[in-house]
Structure 1
């Protein structure tokens, strides 16, 4: 009897292992397909930090398919790189979807509730863009670099890239985009002679993210090649909400 019970237990153990293996294989296939499709989409429709909304509006099927596919994927935050890359891509794709639903528009702010009211059925949830940014990303991970990869469709935002964020390259991509923004004269305006610096309003709105280990200049100088004088006077220039569309 004991031998029979041992055989049954072993059988169930093997079955459980097979189910877990198949589930993990299916998860990997689903996430890989999402990242591959997203990468191809961004390469097709993003050029020079701008989006070809008109072309997507004329052929929205692929964008709809990619976003719909995310509802069959559950990513746990314990797998931090996959989780973050997944939701950063979803955010940027959902912004594009929100724009093309009302396109042509001059600014995302022309669409009522664009960030805080409109809900997107993505990742098995019905959530707003603000939920993705503030609850799923900023609320879970202490990384100010998110501000340089989450693109709000305004020209004041750091530029959207023509590739997907991938788990295997995420840290390098976050670092690269942060460096690009903080070394750009269009994002950081420095008057070295007068020791004055004008920063994007992003750094005013989310000041607490940039001042965890010093002040804003300390954060900027961590990534900037031409360092800013520590005692520079800081001000903030108005955010450009004009749409980041291709010309």
Structure 2
């Protein structure tokens, strides 16, 4: 009888975890569809009606997912990061930039996944430090116009790789860089300066990384520089 009880308890625990995680992805998807348009967030609307966001973060607080469950883990923390950035800006709204608020990324903590954690820790300790994938920089959205645009859907384990690929391709074929053919020069977002080590792995250059995703390839002899980051809030 004792063995039966243990098995049933474990089964309910696994089922409950799965249901909570699926609920988080489903409700996150609905939230982004309702509040994000063309890469911009309706902070004013969320401020006036914060119930859906607060419910999502409450669900996220009780979720625990292992790094070995890679796709669920990555999808959960990417969404948790983007939702927490929105929460942080909604709490300060009206505002013009996340940098107007001291400690926005490295001091303010959120209750997520059973942890009290900052935005920087999600990005650097839970994702970048555990997985060698520079595409995180194109799906983690810091609430500013200089970031790659936020999408109006949740990142889900079943579609995560395709979503990360699509956002990276979109950024590197769009506003993330500026090519001057006459001067043989390419300017890229300062993200590639701040996190250079992520883009030059396995002996590749930054231009090699860019060309992996870019349709119109950049010649390897082009000089690379960085343009200033736009920290203005990504508001509708």
Q: What is the TM-score normalised by the length of structure 2?
A: 0.98
User: What aligned pairs does 1:54-203 form with structure 2 within 5 A after superposition?
Assistant: 54-184=44-174, 186-203=175-192
Give per-residue Cα distances to partners, 1:209-234, cap 9 Å, x unaligned: 00003010000000000000011000
CA distance in 2, matches of 1:128, 1:192: 41
Alignment check: 8 A CA contact 1:201 1:239 kept:
yes
The residue matched to 1:57 in structure 2 has which SS? helix
In the alignment, which of 15, 19, 28 is matched to residue 5 of structure 2? 15
User: What aligned pairs does 1:26-45 form with structure 2 within 5 A after superposition?
Assistant: 26-45=16-35
Equivalent residue, structure 1, for 2:216: 226
Q: CA deviation at 1:16?
A: 2.6
Equivalent residue, structure 1, for 2:225: 235
Superposition CA RMSD, Å: 0.9
How many residue pairs match? The answer is: 235
CA distance in 2, matches of 1:91, 1:179: 21
In the alignment, which of 42, 67, 77 is matched to residue 52 of structure 1? 42
Q: CA deviation at 1:187?
A: 1.2
The residue matched to 2:45 in structure 1 has which SS? helix
Equivalent residue, structure 2, for 1:8: none
CA distance in 1, matches of 2:62, 2:108: 21
Gaps of 5+ in 1: 1-10
Equivalent residue, structure 1, for 2:199: 210
Equivalent residue, structure 2, for 1:5: none
Gaps of 5+ in 2: none
CA distance in 1, matches of 2:172, 2:120: 24
CA distance in 2, matches of 1:97, 1:71: 14
CA distance in 1, matches of 2:102, 2:55: 25
